[in-house]
Structure 1
Amino acid sequence: MSKPNKKQPTKTVEIYCSKCKTLLFKYRKGGKGALVKCFKERIVKDMTVTPCHCPGCDCEFARDTLVRGTPAYKIIGGKVTMK
């Protein structure tokens, strides 16, 4: 399996909790598709206190996993929105 691109994407998106609209991450997203996973090395600013849990409503929005040998958060469908 191939690793994610070494060159970081230039487009930065803000990721919010769907339930309480709390800002979770500022993330460098590549491509124009839906947000399925967040590579930890691409997170610019992390607002969460405990990993994968919203600081506002304490709901779990992702799972900690390895994707192509790189640490990432696998997003649970419908739990986050991005702008």
Structure 2
Amino acid sequence: MAKPNKKGPTRTVDISCSKCRAPLYKYRKGGKGALVKCFIERIVDDHTHSVGQCPGCGQVFARQTLIRGTPAYKIIGGKVQMK
């Protein structure tokens, strides 16, 4: 399998918690589909204190994994909003 593009997309999206609306990440996302995974190298601003846990309400929204040999966060469905 091919690795994700190193340069990455230029469009950034704001990712926030769907429960308490706390900001989580500013992320360079490619494509127009739903947010399923976040490659760690594409995260511009990280507002979380621990991996995959909301700083506001403590809800777990992601799991750390390897996707195509690259470290990423696998997003749990319905736990985050993208703007």
TM-score (norm 2): 0.98
Aligned to 2:74: 74
Q: Which runs of 5+ in 2 are unaligned?
A: none
2:28 alignment partner AA: R
Aligned to 2:26: 26
How many residues of Structure 1 are paired with residues of Structure 2 in the alignment? 83
Q: Which runs of 5+ in 1 are unaligned?
A: none
Aligned to 1:35: 35
Superposition CA RMSD, Å: 0.5
How far apart are 1:7 and its partner, in Å?
2.1
Deviations 1:63-83 (A, max 9, x none): 000000000000000000010
- Which of structure 1's runs of 4+ aligned residues deviate more than 4 A? none
How far apart are 1:4 and its partner, in Å?
0.3
Aligned to 1:52: 52
1:14 alignment partner AA: D
SS of the aligned residue for 2:59 comes to coil
